[in-house]
Amino acid sequence: MDIGKRVRELRDEKGLYQEELAQKAGVARNTISRIERGVLKPTVSLLEKLAVGLEVDTADFLRDRAPLAKPSTPALRFLQESREFEEEAKEHPVSAVKKLRSLAHSYVFAEKYLETLKDPETRKEAEAQVREGLRHRHWAYMYIMTSPDTAEQLEWRSKEFDRAEQIERRGLAAS
């Protein structure tokens, strides 16, 4: 297990930004960033500080994230698809672009689902799932946008981003 990746997963699960985790753990924000990017290998004492900030056991850094169960709500489905999209974008940015439209539909469906929720606790949990999904999607976009491409690939990628944005706009406007 990649410790940096696990720190990021745990931070995302808690809904924390790097700055917030840094404050809770008593370390610099760039230390969190360097660990998550794999530039810095944390010491045991640093892992202990991060565990306090994340409110987890230090052993949690060594455990793989439990796979998500079959998504039971549109918000959870969007979160799972966003995580998978980010992972693919890291490894294969060009092929990940092909999933933009599907993810846009999933996002619209999740947002519409949020509008139907009456119970404040359920809504709060679902909103957190959508926010985390949006963070994963943002990182995937960054991986895709910074990948070296030919001019033809760049044009195609730009069109796919536009199409996904149109799907979201139309879908959310129809509410």
Owner of token pair 């439209």: 101
Instruction: Evaluate whether 96 touches 89 at the Cβ level (below 8 Å).
Output: yes
Instruction: Evaluate whether 127 touches 79 at the Cβ level (below 8 Å).
Output: no
Owner of token pair 């850094």: 61
pLDDT computed for residue 69 by the predictor: 46
CATH class held by domain 3-62: mainly alpha
Between CA 74 and CA 109 the distance in angstroms is 6
Which sequence spans correspond to the domains of the chain? 3-62, 74-173
pLDDT one-digit tens code per residue, 24-61: 999 999 999 999 998 999 998 999 999 899 888 888 78
The tokens for 29 are 């924000």
Between CA 132 and CA 174 the distance in angstroms is 24
Between CA 175 and CA 16 the distance in angstroms is 30
pLDDT one-digit tens code per residue, 53-101: 988 888 878 776 554 444 568 888 888 888 888 888 888 887 788 788 8
Q: Is the pTM of this model over 0.85?
A: no
pLDDT one-digit tens code per residue, 111-124: 988 889 888 888 89
